[in-house]
Amino acid sequence: MTKLSEGRLKNVFNLLEDIKVFTLERLVSSLSCSIPTARLKLKQWGAHTSYNQNGRYYAMSTVPRFDNNGLWHYEDIYFSRYGNLKSTIVQLVDRSPSGLIGKEIGALVRLDPRSFLHHFCNAGGIQREKTKGVYVYFSDNPVTYKQQRKSRSKVAHPAGGILSEADAVVILSALIKHHGICLEEIMALPEIRMHKISSAAIRDFLKRNGLVKKTSTTKP
């Protein structure tokens, strides 16, 4: 096997940074190497693997600009600082103040929850309970679970009134579509006004789920 020079490796690394995301085939072609060698380089470079698209895409460790939930996307290719989809969901659920329902998880990871959640109902790190006819995913850590369960009991009666599942999904979708907007900007959105969601209910929802806008220098 021909040894790859440092100069060649650096040039390819820079190229892959510039194109943002790439496939294993692209790396093999760029390095003119075998698949095992390419996989070794991915590991050495700490490259991230997409959690959708069957894990087919990669991004150099320097490329993703992860948001507060540890997620980043490039067009329709999604990445997580936590790794694959299972690990990502476990972390999102564990970090949530009041657990997450399927639609909330789907909105966060930008995937239809019906396509994957049934695989994770007994996954290590999370547990599922039916509350008022809806499955809620909680952390399986006893201390975290107790706090989440207590907070979840208040979800149906937030400070600004009752917030339905549908309203929660509308808010999450708006935050994803208009990343970084503040409460006043959320209130001005047509979809929020159409559903007549109060500012108090939105403020309470953002606070409970750790989605309050923070000052950040991170580039999109």
* pTM of model > 0.75: no
In terms of phi and psi (left: phi > 0; alpha: psi -120 to 50; beta: otherwise), the region of 51 is: alpha
Looking at residue 163, its pLDDT comes to 64
Contacts of 76 (CB under 8 A, 6+ apart): 52, 53
Going along the chain from its start, the domains and CATH numbers come out as: 6-80 (1.10.10), 85-208 (1.10.10)
CB–CB of 109/89 below 8 Å? yes
Quick one: which of 97, 112, 102 has its CA closest to 166?
102
Looking at residue 216, its pLDDT comes to 40
Give CA angle at 18 (14, 24), nearest 5°. Answer: 80
Residue 27: C-alpha distances to residues 14, 16, 30, 63, 152 (Å): 12, 8, 5, 16, 46
CB–CB of 69/212 below 8 Å? no
- Per-residue pLDDT in tens (0 to 9) along the chain, 220 residues: 457 888 999 999 999 999 999 999 999 999 999 999 999 999 999 999 999 999 999 999 999 999 989 999 999 999 999 999 999 999 999 999 999 999 899 999 999 998 998 888 778 999 999 887 889 999 999 999 999 998 887 755 444 555 666 778 888 888 888 877 888 888 888 888 777 787 878 888 887 777 766 544 444 4
What's the CA gap between 200 and 25, in Å, rounded? 51
Tally Cβ neighbours within 10 Å of residue 146: 12
